[in-house]
Every structure is written in C-alpha cells, then in structure tokens.
C-alpha cells in the first residue's frame, strides 16, 4: 500500500538509522509504504527504504469534522408574522438567533453575507442565522427591527433584540464583533 503526499509541509521526519548524516528531501511527490497505523486516527506511521538507510516518518493530516457543515445558508425573513413565528420557536428552545438586515444594492452587505454563512456553519445547531432584504419586505418589519443602516447584524433572544453590530467597516472586524456578540448570548 502506498501513501502519496501532496503537501510536504505536514510530514515530520524521524531518522531511525545508524547513518544520521545522510539527508533527504521530502519535496515533490514521494511514494511511501505504510507500515502501521497509530492509535491517533489522523496520523500514519510510515517508512521509506533509501539505499541502506531506513527512515521512519509520521505523516499527519487534519480532516474536517464532516458531522457539521462548513457553510450554512441563511434563511430569509419575508414578513412580520414570519419573524414572530421564528422568535417564538427560538424562545421555546431558548436559543438566540442572528438576523442580518441587508439590501441588495449594498456592496458591504453582499460581501458580508457569505462570511456570515460561514460563521453560521461554526455555530450550526446552536444558533440559527436569518437575513432580511429591507427592499423586499414590508416597512413594518424594518421598523420592528429598528434598523436605519445596512448591514446591521442583530442578536435576538427571548423575543427581543439584545445587541447589534452595524457593519460599515472591514468584514473581518464585523465577523469578530459578531462572534463576540454571539459568545455573550449563548
């Protein structure tokens, strides 16, 4: 059985030979034979025969947790009744929700949405993420959210808005602020 390493940065070399002066590079693609499987599921114990020198290698890789998604698409809220229903459901399970108030014409809103969906993947199962396009919903819903600037990201818990971040600055700063806001209300 052979193990083909495409990323040589994850290889850790341990020399187990009597000739320690001999060096070899793991750059490029190397075919390695697998000699055993260690107790840690993400590491393999491997060796390579080179001339009379024997090397032992451990190749480690870090796999995603496929039990949860990386990105979760935010669900739209289209009316006041739907918002009320979402808030009641969240209150029943005592779970906060995130609402991104945005507009299709707002560049920062469009740029921020995929980053929030990635953040939703991090908190999958603990918090639900929603968005409201303020141009496509009744004005009563926008007034209910008390929104005047876009993008505005709010945490709602127990049927009321607890905290908000107005995202007019760099996206990574907004995401950090939203993450801090979430940690306060989980």
CB 177 within 8 A of CB 163: no
Q: Which two tokens stand for residue 56?
A: 């032992």
What is the C-alpha separation between 117 and 76, in angstroms, rounded?
12
Query: Cα 73 vs. chain centroid, distance in angstroms?
Result: 12
What is the C-alpha separation between 51 and 33, in angstroms, rounded?
15
Question: Which are the catalytic amino acids?
Answer: 106, 109
Q: Which two tokens stand for residue 9?
A: 């940065």
């Amino acid at each position: 059985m052979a193990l083909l390493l495409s990323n040589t940065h994850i290889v850790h070399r341990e020399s187990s030979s009597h000739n320690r002066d001999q060096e070899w590079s793991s750059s490029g693609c190397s075919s390695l034979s697998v000699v055993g499987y260690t107790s840690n599921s993400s590491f393999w114990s491997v060796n390579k025969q080179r001339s009379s020198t024997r090397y032992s290698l451990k190749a480690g890789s870090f796999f995603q947790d496929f039990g949860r998604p990386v990105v979760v698409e935010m669900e739209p809220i289209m009316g006041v009744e739907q918002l009320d229903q979402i808030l009641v459901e969240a209150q029943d399970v005592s779970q906060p929700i995130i609402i991104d108030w945005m507009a299709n014409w707002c560049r920062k809103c469009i740029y921020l949405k995929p980053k929030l969906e990635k953040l939703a993947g991090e908190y999958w199962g603990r918090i639900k993420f929603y968005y409201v396009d303020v141009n496509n919903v009744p004005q009563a819903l926008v007034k209910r959210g008390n929104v005047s600037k876009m993008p505005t990201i709010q945490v709602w818990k127990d049927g009321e808005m607890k905290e908000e971040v107005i995202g007019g600055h760099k996206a990574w700063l907004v995401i950090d602020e939203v993450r801090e806001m979430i940690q306060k209300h989980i």
